[in-house]
Amino acid sequence: MKIRTVILDDEPLAIDVIKNYCDTMPDIELLGCFTNPVEAMKFVTSKTVDLIFLDIEMPLLTGIEFIDTLKIRPQFIFTTAYPQFAIDGFELEALDYLVKPIAYTRFLKSVNKFTYQASKNENKKQPLIVQKQELSDKFLFVKSDYESLKIFIDDIKYIEGLKDYLKINLNSGKSVLTLSNFKNLLEKLPEQNFMRVHNSYIVNLQYINSIQRNRIIIDQKRIPISETYKKLFFERIKL
């Protein structure tokens, strides 16, 4: 499913940040970027738009006023440097609220929230057999010792290679050892969220706390970025 997206912000630099983030996600189809809310309104009312990244503080029309004037509202995510407006935003049923400067991981969570809600709405329209298939995309089974363990994909923070085994580190703080290889496991993971950054590591981009030169920080773990994957990684996150 392509997410037909529009960005509205009176600051071109703020637009560039979100645009670069959108470019990393193949599921997002960026239809247009606007600094003028009146022009954006004409576009949104004449096209099919699924999601708007919307600044609140703008000179001609605030983001809150912009949404309030629309008869048919796409899903929208407020972006602003002023967190005190969050209550007003959620009263208008904003999908999410991003405070500038916006971190890439925080952006991913917002988009995933849209995708999750959209999939729930779609499931209501689909027959049961399709619902089961969509559900199966949310988890995988891995062999550990003498059993196959069910692991939810969104719970995987990073995967570490240990000789013949892979150590799958989970959001719960637990880890699972499986006799497998990176190639086979990567084929089961959504490429928009997971990326190999080293011969011994795969990371879930959603859980990156920070990047320090050639290292990724996830919680207290420092994960090296090797020269082999360095260029591709930084192109992916637009740094």
Q: In this structure, is residue 209 part of a structural domain?
A: yes
- Residue 138: the pLDDT is 82
Element (H, E) at 96: strand 96-99
Count CB-CB contacts under 10 A for residue 213.
5
CATH code of the domain containing 160: 2.40.50.1020
Q: Does residue 128 lie in a domain region?
A: no
The pLDDT assigned to 164 comes to: 80
Is 22 among the domain residues? yes
Cα torsion angle, 133, 155, 95, 9, sign: negative
How does pLDDT run along the chain (239 residues), one tens digit per residue? 789 999 999 999 999 999 999 999 989 999 999 999 999 999 999 999 999 999 988 888 888 889 888 888 899 999 988 766 555 555 567 888 888 889 999 999 889 889 877 776 655 544 433 343 343 468 888 888 778 888 999 899 999 998 889 999 999 899 999 988 898 888 888 888 899 999 999 999 989 999 988 999 998 899 999 999 999 998 888 75
Considering the domain architecture, whether residues 12 and 109 belong to the same structural domain is answered as yes
Residue with tokens 């983001």: 63
CA separation for the pair 95, 64 (Å, rounded): 13
Judge if 115 and 148 occupy the same domain: no
Do 118 and 144 lie in one domain? The reply is no
Domain hosting 145: range is 138-237
Model pLDDT, residue 144: 84
56 domain-assigned = yes
Cα 23 to Cα 61: distance, rounded to the nearest angstrom: 27
Measured CA to CA, the distance from residue 116 to residue 206 in angstroms comes to 15
DSSP secondary structure letter of residue 220: T
How far apart CA 37 and CA 26 sit, in angstroms, is 26
From 69, 89, 123, the end of a domain falls on 123
Task: Examine the fold and report which residue of 62, 95, 123 is the final residue of a domain before the chain moves on.
Answer: 123
Same domain, 167 and 201: yes
Note whether 12 and 92 are same-domain residues: yes
Distance CA 82, CA 189 (A): 36
The answer to whether residues 106 and 144 belong to one domain is no
User: What CATH number is given to the structural domain containing 23?
Assistant: 3.40.50.2300
Is residue 10 located within the same domain as residue 111?
A: yes
Count of Cβ atoms closer than 10 Å to residue 195 Cβ: 20
Contact 79, 54 (CB under 8 A): yes
Domain count, the chain: 2
**Residue at 156 is within a domain:** yes
Query: Do both 50 and 117 map to the same domain?
Result: yes
Residue 23 lies in a domain: yes
115 and 15 in a common domain: yes
Let me know if residue 105 belongs to a domain.
yes
- Looking at 89, 123, 157, which one is the last position of a domain? 123
Residues 118 and 147 in one domain: no
